Amino acid sequence: MHTVVERELELELVLSPECSIPVAALLSYRPDDPYAVHVTFHTGTDHPVNWTFARELLVEGVFRPCGHGDVRVWPTKVAGRGVVLMALSSPDGDALLQAPAAQVSAWLERTLVAVPPGTEFGRLGIDDGLAELLAPTPADDLWLGDPWLPDDFTDGE
């Protein structure tokens, strides 16, 4: 059984140092996709905005600046409280989001309990998938036989 670890949060979309607007978000972690975290932003439209990035990036970003390119994460303080900032860039635009550090950290801790660091690879099912893919089937006997030899042919007799 795969337990999905979810947390609804209210983030702040930072428009300027003086202005931000609340954005409802859902943090989601699935053990069958063990390296990724999923964030769904509910922007008040019929189509939520989904982002997926490395769990390790968010874990590290709670403690120190990390990431480059499309996703950057870093901790800071705003009005005396700890927050995690996430800078997201896409061809459609850029966003700076602020999340409560304590809530993000508590959710991340639950994901780390569900799938401890270093055990993610075992959750991918690669060995099972390869075994299934490479398992012989009855049809393999047809392909492995020599089509030019009669069925009653015996070698060396």
> What is the spatial distance between Cα 84 and Cα 65, in angstroms, rounded to a whole number?
10
Lookup: tokens for 19: 């202005």
Q: Which is higher by pLDDT, 24 or 1?
A: 24
| Per-residue confidence (pLDDT) for residue 85, from 0 to 100 | 97
Q: Is 61 left (phi over 0), alpha (psi -120 to 50) or beta?
A: alpha
| CATH (domain of 57) | 2.30.31.20
Phi and psi angles of residue 127, each rounded to the nearest 5 degrees, phi first: -60, -45
| Per-residue confidence (pLDDT) for residue 92, from 0 to 100 | 87
Residue 54 lies inside a defined structural domain of this protein: yes
Residue 151 lies inside a defined structural domain of this protein: no
Q: Which is higher by pLDDT, 65 or 152?
A: 65
| Per-residue confidence (pLDDT) for residue 46, from 0 to 100 | 85
Residue 75 lies inside a defined structural domain of this protein: yes
Residue 148 lies inside a defined structural domain of this protein: no
Residue 118 lies inside a defined structural domain of this protein: yes
| Strand partners for 75 | 84
In Å, how far from its chain's centre is CA 73? 15
- If you average pLDDT over each of 48-52, 129-133, 136-140, which comes out highest? 48-52
Interval 21-56: pLDDT, tens: 999 999 999 998 999 999 999 987 888 999 999 999
Contact 32, 2 (CB under 8 A): yes
Interval 61-82: pLDDT, tens: 999 999 988 999 999 999 899 9
Residue 40 lies inside a defined structural domain of this protein: yes
Interval 86-99: pLDDT, tens: 999 999 899 999 99
Contact 80, 60 (CB under 8 A): no
Q: Structural domain tally of the chain?
A: 1
Domain that holds residue 112: 5-134
Contact 9, 99 (CB under 8 A): yes
Residue 67 lies inside a defined structural domain of this protein: yes
| Per-residue confidence (pLDDT) for residue 136, from 0 to 100 | 73
| Per-residue confidence (pLDDT) for residue 52, from 0 to 100 | 94
Long-range contacts of 48-54 (CB under 8 A, 24+ apart): 51/88
> Identity (one letter) of the amino acid at 100?
P
